[in-house]
Structure 1
Amino acid sequence: MPLPNHTRRRLLQATAAAAALPTSLVHAQGTRTLKVVSPWEVMTLDPSKTGYIFTRLEVAETLVEVDDKGLFVGGLASRWTTSADGLEWRFAIRPTARFHDGTPVTAEAVAACLQRALAQPGLLRNTGAQQIAAKGGELVFRLAKPFSALPAFLAHNSTLILAPASYAADGSVRQVIGSGPYQVVEVQAPQSLRTRRFEGFDGRKPVIEAVDYLGASRGETRGMMASSGQADLVYTHDPVGYERLRANRKLQLHRLPLPRTIYIKVNAGHRFLADLRVRRAMSLALDRSGMATALMRAPEAAATQLFPPAVAEWHVPGLAPLAQNLEQSRALLREAGWQAGADGVLRNQAGEAFKLTLRTFSDRPELPPLATAIQAQLKAVGIDMAVSIGNSSEIPSGHQNGSLELALVARNYGLVPDPLGILLQDFGPKGGDWGAMGWHSVQVSQTLADMSLMVDPKRRSALRGAIATVLQAELPVIPVAWYQHSMTASTRLVNVSVDPLERSYRISRMGWAA
C-alpha cells in the first residue's frame, strides 16, 4: 500500500536533512569525530537560555557538580562552607582550573559571571543573594536570609561559568569560553556547533578528541541518522521507532525514566478554567494508562501524580492517584454550569461554547501524539480543544502576554539537583513560564519559602508531602505522563552511559571500540 502524501513528504524532508550532513568520521586534521544529534538548536550563546547545551557537551562548568548518586561534589568549586547564621557562603575555586583561552579561573572571574546571572531574570534570583564578590581568593555569597539549597542552584546550567573574554562591552555573550574538557571550535547557529578536546583541562584527558553537534528538531531525521550510522549518539527518539532501533545490530538503545513530567499547563485565570471543578473534570477525562501504553510504549509512565518515582523525595506513595472517570467528569462539568449543545459541545449559561487551544511543540516527539489523544478524550466530555504545534518558545511568551489557554509541556525536576529550585520558579506568587498561570496558593508559596530555610530532613519531607497534596487537589497543572528518556549509541563506542539528571552527555568518559 503506498504511503500517504504527507508521510512521503516528511520522509523526503528527513532524508534530505540527513544527506546534507557530512558523513565522514574523520576531521581534516585526521582526528576521529564523534557525531551527536539532539532536538535542541543553538538559538543563542547566552547561558541563561541555552546553557544546557554547553554543559551537556562538557564545554563549561558550574561551581557545584552532582555525582551518579545525586550527591553534591565539587565542580569549579573545590569546597564550600557556610557561616553559623547561614547568611554567608564561601566557595574556594579549583586552583588548577583554566579557561579555554589560557587564563586562570579566578574568584573575580567567577564573581563577575554570576553577578551577570543574578542581574537577569532567572533561577539565581530565588536564592535571595544580595552580594556576590571575590574576597581573599574565594567567592563569597551574602544572602538576605538563610537558603540551604544554594549549592543545588549553583549546579544549574544557567549559572555556568565563562571567561571574561566571552562577553562583549554591552554584556552580551559573543563567544563561549568555558573551562571544561571540550572547547568550542565553531558555531553555526542555530543548527550546529563543533568542539575539540581542550588540552589544558586539569582533569582526566578524554579519549574522544572532536565532536560535531547537530540540533535536529524532526524525530524522523534523528531516527534515520541513528539507523544509517550518520550519527554516533542520538537523543530523544519517537517511541514508535523503538522496536526498529532495538533491532539494529549497530546500535545500542538506552531507555530510562527521568525526573520529568509531561503535563497540561493550565491558564487558571481563564474564565472557563478558573473553576476547580472544570480542571478536575479535565483530569478525570484523561486515559493516562492508555496513552502511556499506546503512545509512549511504557505502561508504567502513566502519571498518577505530578512527581514521578524518579523524584523519590517528592513522590508521595499514599496520594490518591489521578485516574479516568468519565461519569464523574461529566457530572462536575454539569455542576459547573456546562450543558451539551446539539453538536455535543458544552455551552455555558451565556451560550459560549467550551472551546480552547492547546499549544505544544514537536522537539519532544511524544508531545504531538499525546496532544491529539488528549484532544479526543476531552471531546468525549464535550470540550472542543484545538491543538497548535509550534515552537517551544511560544509557551513562555504566551504565559507572559496572557494569550496562553492550555499547553502540553515536559518539565524536568532534576534541572536543579534539589527540585525546590524548579518549584520556586513554577509555583511562586506569580507562577512561572512553565508552571502555574493565573493560580496561586499561599500555602504552597509559604511552604516553599520555609523549605528553603531548613536543613532538617524529617521536616523537609513532611513539607514536600504537603505541597504535593495541594497540587494534586487544585491541579494548576494536570499531570499526564512520566517521561521516558531515550537515546541510541553506535556500537563503535564504548563506556556509554546516560545521565539520569540530563546534565551531561558524558562524552569525556567514552571511547572508540577497537
Structure 2
Amino acid sequence: MTRALLARFYTLAGILAVAGAVETTGGITGVAMAGANDDVLDIASPLEISGLDPAKSGYLFSRMQAAETLFTVNRESQIVPMLATGSRASEDGLRWEISLRDDVTFHDGTPMTAEIVAADLNRAFERPGVLRQAPITGISASGNDIVITLSEPFAMLPAFLAHYSTIILAAGSFDDVGEVQTIIGTGAYRVDAVVPPLRIELSAFDKWWNGRAQIEKVSYLAVSRGETRAMMAQSGDADLVLSLLPVAVTQLKGNPDVNVTVATVPRTRLLKLNLAQPFFDETVERQALSLAINRKAIAGVVMRNTDLAASQMFPPEIRDWYDANMPVLDFDPQKARDLLADAGWVAGSDGILEKDGKRFDVTVRTYASWPDLPLIATALQSQLRDVGIGLEISVGSYTEIPAGHADGTLEAALVTRSFSMVPDPLATVMEDYGPGGADWGAMNWHNAEAEDLIADLRKTTDGDARAQMQKKLADILQAELPTIPLVWSELAMASSARLENVRTDPYEQNYYLADLRWAR
C-alpha cells in the first residue's frame, strides 16, 4: 500500500515551511520534501517541534537519538552514564567531577571536548529550565572532566544532567549570541532537516560512538489527532506510531500487520486542590472527596484498563516510591458522606451540601490537549454529585491552571503530572510539594515534616536512607491528600510487523531507534 496519507501531511509541512517555518539541512535553508520510501522509518507522534532550543524541543531530539546527554536512564530505570563515563562527588558533596568519553564525534566531524560540554551546560543553566533548580555555583572544564560546584549537596545531579534541556551540541549549532540555529549532536542519527512544527528528517551517523544504526533513514511527523495517528498505523502509512488512544489499542490489536506495545509510565492524573477554599481546608474533607471517587470505573471506561486505578500517587513502575503495603485509596461513598457530615456539611434542599451558608459547589479546570481529562472530569461530576458535591467543569487552555494558581482563583484542577521529566521523581515531588507548592502541585498546603524530608532527600546519596525517607514522604501525601491521585497512565505504541527490536521506554527518554531493524 502506498503512503499517500503521509505524503499529504508532508505537503502540509512544506506549505508551513514556505509560510515562514525554518528548515535546516546541512546549513542550507529551504524546503526539502520527503517522498514515500519503504526504506525510510516513518514515525508519527503528537509532539510538535516548537523550536530548536533544547529547553523547548530537546525532548524530541533526545528521543530520536540525534542529541545526547551526559547521563540517561537504562532499561532497568537506573541513571547511568551516556556521554559521561562516570562521576565522583567530594566528601562534602559540594564538588562533582564528571569524566567524559574520549571517542565522541559531533555530526559535523568536530570532536566533543570538555570545553564544549561545559559551554553547553552553562548555557542551559543560564536559561529557564530544570538545571536552574540545582544549587550550582560553577561549571567548568578540567582536562577531559567537567567540574560542577554546588552551594549545598545535591544527590540528584546526574538525573538533572539526563534531562533533555542539557543535550550536548557542537559549537557550530549556535550563532554569535548563543541561539541554536541547527541541531548538531552526537547521537546515532544526524539531523538532515527540520520543518517546525511538524517534521524532522534524519540519517544514520557513521561515526556514532556506540556503533552504526541499522536503519539508514528516519522521518518524524507530528500528528496531533489520535484518530489520525491510529489510521496511519492501520494503513501502514507510518511504521512507528506513538501515544495511541485506548480505543485505538483495541482496534489495532486485531491487525496482523501491526504490533502494539503498552507500558505503564510514571504519570498520574490527579485532582489539584486549593486548600485555602472551605471545601478542602480540612484533611477529612479531602479524604471524603477521595472516598467518593470510583477509580476502577474511571480507569475501566476511560483508560480501558482497571489496573490503572491509582491506589496511591506513584505507580508500581516508580520502584523506589511505590509501596505495595500502603493502605490504598478506597471507594466508599457512604463513608465519604459520614466524613463530610462530621466536618459540618449538611445536605440542602437539592441534595448539594452546605456549611456556614456556603454550598459545596466547585469549579474544576482542565484541558483537552490530553483527551481523556474532560472524560474523567465528566465521570467525577457524576460520582461526586452522588455524595452531595456539585462540580462544574471548565475545559480551556492548560495555561489557565498555573494562572489560577498564581492569582488564587483556582478552586480545583484535573491535570496529568509526569514524574519522569527529570528521571528522578524527587525532582517533581520537591517542586510540587515543597515550600509554597507549585503550579501543577500542592496549593496552600504546608507540612513541616514533608518539607524537612524533601530537604534531606536533596542531599542524601545513601540508597537505603533515601528509600526510608521516600516512603515517609509518600505516606504523608497519601494521608493528607494535598492532591488526589485518580488514575495512572500507559504509553501505547504501534509498530509495523516488519520492524524488529521495538520497545517502549517507561521514562520516555529514548525511542531506541538505533536498535531497530527491518525484519528479514
RMSD: 2.5
Partner of 2:496: 490
Unaligned runs of at least 5 residues, structure 2? 12-32
In structure 1, the residue corresponding to 2:57 is in which secondary structure? helix
AA partner of residue 54 (structure 1): F
1:200–1:81 distance in 2 versus 1, CA, 3 Å: same
2:348 corresponds to which residue?
Answer: 341
Select 2:272's aligned residue among 255, 265, 270: 265
Tell me, yes or no, if structure 1 residue 133 matches structure 2 residue 144.
no
Counterpart residue type for residue 206 of structure 2: E
Measured after TM superposition, the shift of residue 239 of structure 1 is 1.2
**Is the 8 Å Cα contact of residues 396 and 433 (structure 1) preserved in structure 2?**
yes
- Is 1:98 equivalent to 2:86 in the alignment? no
Residues 103, 440 of structure 1: alpha-carbon distance in 2 compared, 3 angstrom cutoff: farther
Displacement of 1:46 after TM fit? Answer: 2.6
Deviations 1:436-476 (A, max 9, x none): 22223221121111122223322222111110111011111
2:215 to 204, 208, 220: 208
Amino acid at match of 2:8: A
Give the structure 1 partner of residue 160 of structure 2.
153
- Offset, 1:322: 0.5
SS in 2 for 1:206: coil
Is 2:125 the partner of 1:118?
yes
Contact map agreement 1:196 1:209 (CA 8 A) in 2: yes
Q: Per-residue displacement from partner, 1:262-301 (whole Å, max 9, x unpaired)?
A: 2122233345333333322221111011112222222221
**In the alignment, residue 390 of structure 2 is paired with which amino acid?**
D
Matched, 1:408 2:414: yes
Match of 1:181 in 2: 188
- Deviation per residue, 1:173-227 (Å, 9 max, x gap): 3333222112222222223322222333222111222222222222211111111
Which secondary structure state, in structure 1, belongs to the residue aligned with residue 459 of structure 2? coil
Alpha-carbon distance between aligned partners in 2 of 1:382 and 1:108, rounded to the nearest angstrom: 63
| Residue 351 of structure 1: how far off its partner (Å) | 4.2
1:463: which partner in 2? 469
Name the SS for the 2:99 alignment partner.
Answer: strand
Which residue in the other structure is 1:233 paired with?
Answer: 240
CA contact (8 A) 2:70 2:161 kept: yes
Q: 2:9 aligns with which of 10, 21, 24?
A: 21
- Write the mapping of 1:304-319 to structure 2, written as runs, cut at 5 A: 304-319=311-326
1:63 is displaced (CA, Å) by: 0.5
Task: For 1:217 and 1:360, locate their aligned partners in 2 and report how far apart those are by CA, in whole Å.
Answer: 15
Flag the 1:397–1:44 CA change in 2: closer, same or farther, 3 A.
farther
Aligned length: 496
Q: Is the 8 A contact 2:51 2:197 kept in 1?
A: yes
- Counterpart contact for 2:47–2:223, Cα < 8 Å: yes
Give CA deviations for 1:304-326 in whole Å, capped at 9, x if unaligned. Answer: 11111111221122221101111
**Is the 8 Å Cα contact of residues 185 and 194 (structure 1) preserved in structure 2?**
yes
| Contact 1:372 1:387 (8 Å CA) reproduced | yes
Structure 2: which amino acid aligns with 1:129?
A: I
Structure 2 residue corresponding to 1:357, chosen from 364, 385, 389? 364
| Worse-superposed segment, 150-159 or 118-127 | 118-127
Please, which of 163, 170, 191 is the counterpart of residue 163 of structure 1? 170
CA distance change for structure 1 residues 273 and 423 in 2, over 3 Å: closer, same or farther?
same
Task: Find the residue that maps to 1:21 and give its secondary structure.
Answer: helix
Change (3 A) 1:312 1:399: same
Look up the SS of the partner of 2:155 in the other structure: coil
2:194 is equivalent to residue 194 of structure 1: no
Partner residue of 1:373?
379
1:494–1:171: structure 2 CA closer, same or farther, 3 Å change rule? same
User: Do residues 47 (structure 1) and 54 (structure 2) align?
Assistant: yes
Contact 2:366/2:414 (<8 A) preserved? yes
Deviation at 1:404, TM superposition (A): 3.5
What do residues 316-356 of structure 1 show as CA deviations (whole Å, max 9, x unaligned)? 22221101111222233334444433333334423456131
Deviation, structure 1 residue 401: 4.4
Aligned residue for 2:333?
Answer: 326
Q: Distance in 2 between matches of 1:29 and 1:199?
A: 24
Task: State whether structure 2 residue 457 is matched by structure 1 residue 448.
Answer: no
Q: Equivalent residue for 1:428?
A: 434
Aligned partners of 2:78, 2:38: CA distance in 1, in Å?
Answer: 35
CA contact (8 A) 1:128 1:143 kept: yes
Aligned to 1:476: 482
2:506 equivalent in structure 1: 500
Q: CA deviation at 1:112?
A: 1.8
Residue identity opposite 1:473 in structure 2: A
Letter in 2 for 1:427: Y
Per-residue Cα deviation, 1:87-114 (whole angstroms, up to 9, x for no partner): 1111122222222233322212211221
Contact 1:117–1:158 (CA under 8 A) maintained in structure 2: yes
Match status 1:286 vs 2:289: no
C-alpha deviation, 1:373, in angstroms: 1.2
Which residue of the partner structure matches residue 245 of structure 1? 252
C-alpha contact (below 8 Å) 2:362/2:411 kept by paired residues? no
TM-score (norm 1): 0.89
The code of the aligned residue for 1:207 comes to: Q
Structure 1 window deviating more from structure 2 (132-141 vs 272-281): it is 272-281
2:359 and 2:312 mapped to 1: Cα distance? 32
Distance change (3 Å), C-alpha of 1:90 and 1:392: same
Q: Give 3-state SS (helix, strand or coil) of 1:452's partner.
A: helix
Deviation at 1:27, TM superposition (A): 4.9
Specify the code of the residue in structure 2 equivalent to 1:83: S
What is the deviation of 1:378?
1.8
Q: CA deviation at 1:511?
A: 1.0
CA distance in 2: counterparts of 1:348 and 1:19, whole angstroms: 60
Counterparts of 1:396 and 1:194, CA distance in 2: 35
| Matched-pair contact (CA < 8 Å) for 1:360–1:387 | no
Kindly provide the amino acid, as one letter, of the partner of residue 348 in structure 2: G
Q: 1:442 to 1:93 in 2, by over 3 A?
A: same
Q: Cα–Cα, structure 1 residues 157 and 17, in superposed 2: closer, same or farther, change >3 Å?
A: same
Whether the 8 Å CA contact 1:258–1:310 is kept in 2: the answer is yes
In 2, Cα distance between equivalents of 1:446 and 1:130: 23
Aligned-residue offset at 1:426? 1.8
Equivalent residues of 1:285, 1:325 under 8 A apart = yes
Q: Is the 8 A contact 1:18 1:221 kept in 2?
A: no
- 1:104-134 CA distances to partner (integer Å, 9 max, x unpaired)? 2221221122122222343223331111111
Secondary structure class of the residue paired with 2:9? coil
SS of match in other structure, 1:247: coil
TM-fit CA distance, 1:17: 8.1
Determine if contact 2:227/2:248 at 8 Å carries over to the other structure: no
The answer to whether the 8 A contact 1:240-1:295 is kept is no
Which of 71, 77, 87 is residue 64 of structure 1 equivalent to?
Answer: 71
Aligned-pair distance for 1:169? 4.2
- Cα distance in 1 for residues equivalent to 2:99 and 2:75: 23
With normalisation by structure 2, the TM-score equals 0.88
Q: Which amino acid aligns with 1:493?
A: L
| 1:358–1:385 contact (8 Å) kept in structure 2 | no
Query: Identical aligned pairs, as a percentage?
Result: 41
- Cα distance in structure 2, aligned partners of 1:167 and 1:392: 31
1:175 match: secondary structure: coil
